[in-house]
Chains A and B, each alone.
Chain A
C-alpha cells in the first residue's frame, strides 16, 4: 500500500568545482566582521512529496530523480533524507 513521503534533497557543487557565488558570500561575510569564516559553498535544497510503496521504493525514486534531472553529475552531487510526510504536507 502506498504511503506519502517527504524527501529533503541537497544538491551541492562537487568539491573541485569552483563556486563563485560561494566566494562572493564568503567575502561579504568577512566584510560584515565574521572573521572566522573559512569557506562558503552555495547549493540547492529541494523538497519532494511523493507516494511510494514503502520507504525503499521512495529512496529508489528519489535517487533516480536526482540522477535524471535534479542534479547534473558533471558538476553536482546530491544527498537526501526521506521521512513519512507530515499531515500538512500530504494535504498540500
Chain B
C-alpha cells in the first residue's frame, strides 16, 4: 500500500498526513494538483487546508483542478479515497460525496478534540473500528457544518453510509457534542460503494501519544487490513 497525498494551493495538512501514514508503515508521495495520474493501488488523500483560499465556497475551485479527473476515475474503479476537512469539502463539491459543508452554526472557528461514534463498520476505513469505543480526534475548521436534504440523509442512514457522528466521551450522540451544527451530528460520510470517505476531524493529528492521542491511527490500520496488509 502506498499513498498519494494531493496538494492544492493552500493545502496545509499534507505533511501531517505523510507523517501519520509513515507511522503506520505506508510510504506516501505528494501529488501537485496540476498532475493528472494516480496509480490504481494508491490510497488517495485529500488533506486539510484552505485550497484556493476557500474563495467562493470551500472546495469549489479545487474540484476543477486537473488531478480531480484522476480522482474521479480512481474512485469509480474502486480505489480508496479519503478527504479530511478541506478534502471532505472538495469531495462534496466534486459530487463524489453527497451534501455540503457550511459555516459552523456558532460562526466560530473550532479547534478542539471531539469524540466520534463509529456508525458504520462495513467500509474499508471503518471495518476494524470498535463501535463501543468512541475515537478522540481533533477538529480544526470554520466550515464543517454538514448539510443535506432530509431525503438524502434518510438514504445515507438506510444504506449505512454515515461513518462517524459527533458524540460525548461515553459514546452518546447529543446536541452538546456537536461542535458545528451538522445535521444528525454527522462527522463523516461514505460514498455508495464504501471506498470514498469524507470526514471533518483530522485523524492525522491523532497519530502519536506525544501529540495528545493516537486514536486516528485506527482508521489507517482498518484501511490497511481491508487491503490485506497487517500493520499492527
Contact = CB atoms under 8 A, between A and B. Distances in A.
Interface string B47-72: 00000000011001100100000000
Contacts, number: 31
B123 to A, nearest CB: 23
Contacts of B107: 20-21, 24
Given A20-B181, A69-B56, A74 B105 contact: no
B173 interface: no
A17 B93 contact: no
Interface string B102-138: 1111110000000000000000000000000000000
B100 interface: yes
B64 A69 contact: yes
A17 B56 contact: no
Contact of A74 (B64, B103, B148, B181): B148
Contact of A18 (B60, B98, B181): B181
Contact of B93 (A20, A70, A72): A72
A74 B100 contact: yes
B213 interface: no
B100 A18 contact: no
Contacts of A20: 103-107, 181
5 contacts: A21-B107, A72-B57, A74-B99, A75-B100, A75-B147
Minimum-distance CB pairs A-B, first 7: A74-B100, A20-B105, A75-B100, A20-B107, A72-B100, A72-B57, A24-B107
Interface of A: 17-18, 20-21, 24, 69-70, 72, 74-75
Given A21-B107, A69-B56, 15 more contacts: A18-B181, A20-B103, A20-B105, A20-B106, A20-B181, A21-B103, A69-B60, A72-B57, A72-B93, A72-B100, A74-B99, A74-B148, A74-B149, A75-B100, A75-B102
